[in-house]
Structure 1
Amino acid sequence: MGVPKPEKFKGARSTRDVDNFLWEMESTDEKRGGNAIETWEEFQRELKKQFYPQFAEKKAQAKLRRLTQQGTVREYVRAFSELMLQISDLSEKEAFYWFEDGLKPWAKHELRRQGITELTVAMVEAESFVELGPARDKLE
């Protein structure tokens, strides 16, 4: 199926030409039966459908359920974020549950003490936690 292409750029373009091209693209999508993507969430879902095979998403879900904080909180947040990007239909509530569940007990307790219930806030706050413990001298 042919997709409309804009005319070759000649140094100046009117807004009417751009509007006409965009209208033509939208009408082509409608003719093909495609739905217009209207929100960021819809865009992310469609993008993931195109580029993440179904088995990869299932594998990411399994990894997310088993993910626990082994090193620093920052490393855990990074690993959690990478897995979350591979899962298209993870609700905010479910994501927050899995995030909190994988934290070490002291970090989980601190989030609960602060009354945090939103995933994005929890991730930012968790990264700011100072981990106390034996000092590790990285200079040799």
Structure 2
Amino acid sequence: MNEQIAAQAARMETLASKPRAARKAQPPKYQGSLNEDLDLWYRQFVADCDRSQVVRTWETFKAAMRKRFLPPDHEYCLREKLCKLTQLGPLHDYVSAFQDVLIQCKIPISPLELRFYFQQGLRSETAHHLREHHPATLDETIELALRFDHGAKGGNTNTATAEWMQRATCHKCKQVGHIAPNCPSTK
């Protein structure tokens, strides 16, 4: 008990030692806790369910939480996030961020809109590739984008093989343009 009184006295002394202007400039601090507020809200939720004879399920709880804690224009804000989302790094990160926002949407979005939102944020070459292939669903769009991105990083293997074959030296006849298993002199 004496320790608490000493700690309180030390806090009061610290506050009193500050200049009067500095004390007024600092905003008051919230003294309650979020847990208390959440607990009060939950008690009210339970009372409302009991009063209206509604069965408390996970779905009713989620709906009540959304109604109480999400802003009224939450869906609109999510659509804005989808529009503003851009691919800055790897495609996998963009897909993950896109799906994170999409999971929060409760109002259904048409497949065409989903493709539009997804394509808008992609790098230009990937978006152009998707425009050429016309995927129907978001899953097809993501799969096609990932395949294109993987192919673009790996380079064109046909071109690389052709260039390598032009520089390849045969170990049997020492000529450039083919390798030993394909050597025409041994056939």
Within the candidate set 57, 64, 72, 2:75 is matched to 57
Please say if 1:80 is aligned against 2:98.
yes
Q: Distance in 2 between matches of 1:68 and 1:77?
A: 10
Aligned to 2:138, which of 108, 119, 126?
A: 119
TM-score by length of 1: 0.53
Q: Distance in 1 between matches of 2:84 and 2:124?
A: 16
Q: Report the 3-state secondary structure (helix = DSSP H, G, I; strand = E; otherwise coil) of the residue aligned with 2:153.
A: coil
Question: Residues 1-140 of structure 1: matches in 2 within 5 Å?
Answer: 49=63, 52=66, 53=70, 54-89=72-107, 90-128=109-147, 129-130=149-150, 131-132=152-153
Name structure 1 gaps, 5 residues minimum. Answer: 3-30, 33-42, 134-140
Unaligned runs of 5+ in 2: 1-48, 155-187
Whole-angstrom distance in 2 between the partners of 1:122 and 1:66: 18
Aligned-pair Cα RMSD in Å:
3.0
In structure 2, C-alpha distance between the alignment counterparts of 1:114 and 1:50, rounded to whole Å: 43
Measured in 1, the distance between the counterparts of 2:121 and 2:133 equals 18
Equivalent AA in structure 2 for residue 125 of structure 1: L
Greater RCO (CA < 8 Å, at least 6 residues apart): 1
Percentage identity across paired residues of the two chains? 26
Question: 1:112/1:56 Cα in 2 relative to 1: closer, same or farther (>3 Å)?
Answer: same
How many angstroms does 1:91 deviate by? 2.1
Name the TM-score, length of structure 2 as normaliser: 0.41
2:115 and 2:92 map into 1 onto residues whose CA distance is 16
Shift of 1:72: 1.2
Using a 3 Å threshold, how does the CA distance of structure 1 residues 50 and 79 change in structure 2: closer, same or farther? Answer: farther
Instruction: Report the structure number with the largest CA radius of gyration.
Output: 2
Q: Which amino acid aligns with 1:103?
A: L
